[in-house]
Amino acid sequence: MSKVQSSATSSNSIARPLPDSIGNDSIVELDDVHLRLDSGAGPVNILRGVNLQVAAGERVGVVGPSGSGKSTMMMVMAGLERPSGGTVRVAGQELNRLDEDGLARFRRQHVGIVFQAFHLVPTMTALENVAIPLEFAGVADAFDRARIGLEQVGLGHRIHHYPGQLSGGEQQRTALARAFVTEPSLLLADEPTGNLDIDTGATIVKLLFDLAERRGTTLVLITHDPSLAARCDRTVRLADGRIADDGQAARRARLQAAGE
Ligand SMILES: Nc1ncnc2c1ncn2[C@@H]1O[C@H](COP(=O)(O)OP(=O)(O)OP(=O)(O)O)[C@@H](O)[C@H]1O
Ligand SMILES: [Mg+2]
């Protein structure tokens, strides 16, 4: 246990400095992105010309009705789904130009993902789950760093537990630790509080924003949770495969009101 605690105190060494302010540089640029899939029932146009820019360090909430394309847009940003048209640029890389190996490398270097259903490997302990992306990245002290990551989400006492032995909130915290442990510049989370009770959800939201702030991480969070959306710098609304509102006007109005 003392080893865990001493590891946790050294966690500042892997933290990045906070950005002074939200810069003008876009970390995500979607330009006229289309995604069309062929299903048994015929072709479906899921994304129909999505234009979106997210600045480095920004925290963006994504809302919209079920089926509007939120998860699909997140998969496109993560390079897990290839668009059928348009341009996707993330962290300075044009994803359309990368092959599968290039995309895997891009994800390892730049993106952390929290899936809605946690996606933990059931036969691996919490520690092993969090160490996976570090091992893929060839980090020598993967298990030490994974232990620090779990300590940061308050799970230092659960590192050898399997997902089936963890509560829903603990599994979600493990998924958060796994997404943050490689210090991604962009963290994508699909309904991070969707499966949790209100109190556990509030804990996860606080953790998410604390970890992001400590490291200057850009957050794109899909959510139906108004309290989570309210903590973001702006809220992007999707409807029917398009951006219905990019949230910039509301943000400007809020900033203006705060300045008066
Ligand atoms: N593999 C697929 N084949 C055909 N249609 C698909 C496929 N994946 C998603 N869709 C359709 O694309 C649309 C958008 O799906 P998506 O999962 O992005 O929605 P969402 O906004 O995340 O919804 P929710 O809030 O319910 O999670 C839906 O109508 C869905 O049925
Ligand atoms: Mg979804």
The string of DSSP codes covering 199-236 is: HHHHHHHHHHHHHHHHHT-EEEEE-S-HHHHHTSSEEE
201-260 pLDDT tens trace: 888 888 889 989 988 999 999 998 888 888 999 999 999 999 999 999 999 998 888 887
Q: pLDDT confidence of 9, banded at 50, 70, 90?
A: very low
| pLDDT at res. 227 | 80
Q: Which tens digits make up the pLDDT trace of 111-155?
A: 999 987 888 999 999 999 999 999 988 999 999 999 999 998 899
| CATH architecture type of domain 2-259 | 3-Layer(aba) Sandwich (3.40)
Q: Provide the pLDDT for residue 145.
A: 96
Cα gap 30→221, rounded to integer Å: 16
Euclidean distance between CA atoms 26 and 94, whole angstroms: 13
Beta bridge partners of 39: 42
- Collect residues with CB below 5 Å from ion ligand 2: 71
Tell me if 104 CB under 6 Å of ligand 1: no
Average pLDDT, the chain: 88
pLDDT in tens, 66-94: 999 999 999 999 999 999 999 999 999 99
pTM for the full predicted model: 0.86
Find out whether the beta carbon of 35 lies less than 6 Å from any atom of ligand 1: no
Detail the DSSP E strand segments found in 56-155. 59-63, 85-90, 93-94, 111-114
pLDDT of residue 160: 97
Assign 64 to helix, strand or coil.
coil
Angle between helices 142-152 and 168-180 (to 10 degrees): 130
**SS3 at position 149:** helix
- Predicted confidence at residue 6, as pLDDT, reads 37
Q: Which atom of ligand 1 is nearest to the CA of 73?
A: 18
For the chain, the domains span 2-259
Residue 76 alpha carbon to ligand 2 centre in Å = 13
Q: Select from 175, 67, 73, 170 the least CA-distant residue to 115.
A: 175
Element of type H or E holding 140: none
Nearest bound ligand to CA 242? 1
The answer to whether the CB of 7 is under 6 A from ligand 1 is: no
Q: Is the pLDDT of residue 5 over 50?
A: no
Substitution candidate for ligand 1 out of 35, 36, 45, 68 with most atoms within 8 A of CB? 68
Tens of pLDDT, residues 10-35: 333 343 343 434 445 899 999 999 99
pLDDT of residue 7: 37
